[in-house]
Homo-oligomer: A and B are copies of this chain.
Amino acid sequence: MTENRIVPNRKSLFLRACRGGPVEHVPVWMMRQAGRYLPEYRAVRAQHSFLEVCKTPELAIEVSLQPFRQFAVDAVIVFCDILVPAEAMGLPVEFQDAGPVLPRPVRSHSDVQALRDFDPDKDTKFVGQAIAGLCRELGPTVPVLGFAAAPWTLACYMVEGRAKSGFGAVKQMRYADPALLRALLEKIARNTARYLKAQIAAGAAAVQLFDTWAGELSAADYDEFALPSIQLLLEELAAGETPVIYYSKATNHLLDSVSRTGADVLSVDWRIDLKDARAKCRKRSGPPFAVQGNIDPAVLLGPVEGIRQAVRDAVAKTGGTGHILNLGHGILPETPVEHARAFIEAGQTTPLSAVASSASGI
């Protein structure tokens, strides 16, 4: 199928898809595409710790490029971690086998006041250097993506102190001292805006906000806490022509709300129907809103024909325009490399005309 996969300008393709413009095929990439399922990633990690790879531009560049070399994905996301800004704000972060730990979680007003407004060009300059290096390596025709956590999701880590502890502490804060949670979200939003501005200045063609824990909130709480902090972030970021992608997980109950963040692309998981997401986006005024997603990463553990069918089904739901094909969450470490390849190839070769007629039921 290689002859079908030649894309003269992936960056143009990606940006057209973000704006809902005409495309030859859906652009396709995978969350966590630089990751443990790739032997060449494991080889780097055998020599260097996770944080070392994040903070050493040449290593971050190397692992970010690995999926592009393997599959010619349509976007290269910089290798980094969503907790990097938390550390830059003054919270120690330890990456342990069981996941990240923040030994001094944020619990009080004085904890929030103690958080530093950091300087991305100094405190996290390795991120900008990795993005700039990737842009040099890849040239002007491949989009490099920057990213950060959305404020609510970063607040969960900063308050809980570990990834898998549930949400007891951050929710207790929400109920016992909502003003404290608001102050924390605002501080994160302002710092994240500057952090992403620096990534765009370094050459990021688009940036993605990861709101992995949004689905934990009721609609009322999302609207009261999470949504205003994202809106503040995007206002401060003022990304202009640079598309912002907003990813959330398990947010079917928040579909109205997540389409009101102001982001250009709504990234959803397999529990939201792409048609529903699309319809919600189209009803809104403002710029055309594209969707990203939404294959269950577990589909890539199954047979190749099932992967191809899932891709055809997803592209049929959107007709193929205004759609960036992706997984609904990060690729699983146990995914066979050839299955990841099948996913990328299926996305890049599913013809849009056939799709359109299948989508309209002809």
Binding site for B on A (CB under 8 A): 164, 166-168, 171-172, 174-176, 215, 217-219, 250, 252-253, 270-273, 296, 298-299, 301-303, 306, 332, 334
Contact = CB atoms under 8 A, between A and B. Distances in A.
Chain copies in the assembled complex: 2
B302 A172 contact: yes
Nearest to A301: B172
Contacts of A250: 215, 250
B301 A168 contact: yes
Given A164-B164, A176-B302, A296 B171 contact: yes
Given A171-B296, A218-B270, A176 B301 contact: yes
Contacts of A273: 219, 253
A303 B272 contact: no
A99 to B, nearest CB: 11
Contacts of A253: 252-253, 271-273
A296 B253 CA distance: 15
A301 B171 CA distance: 8
Contacts of A301: 168, 171-172, 175-176
A113 B168 CA distance: 41
Contacts of A272: 253
A215 B270 CA distance: 11
A24 to B, nearest CB: 28
Contacts of A215: 250, 271
Q: Please provide the 8 A-B residue pairs with the shortest distance between their CB atoms, ordered closest to farther.
A: A175-B302, A171-B298, A252-B253, A172-B301, A253-B271, A252-B252, A218-B270, A176-B302
Given A168-B298, A252-B252, A332-B168, A175 B306 contact: yes
Contacts of A302: 172, 174-176
Contacts of A270: 218
A218 B271 contact: yes
B176 A303 contact: yes
A226 to B, nearest CB: 13
Given A172-B298, A252-B252, 9 more contacts: A167-B298, A168-B332, A175-B299, A175-B301, A176-B302, A215-B271, A218-B270, A218-B296, A253-B271
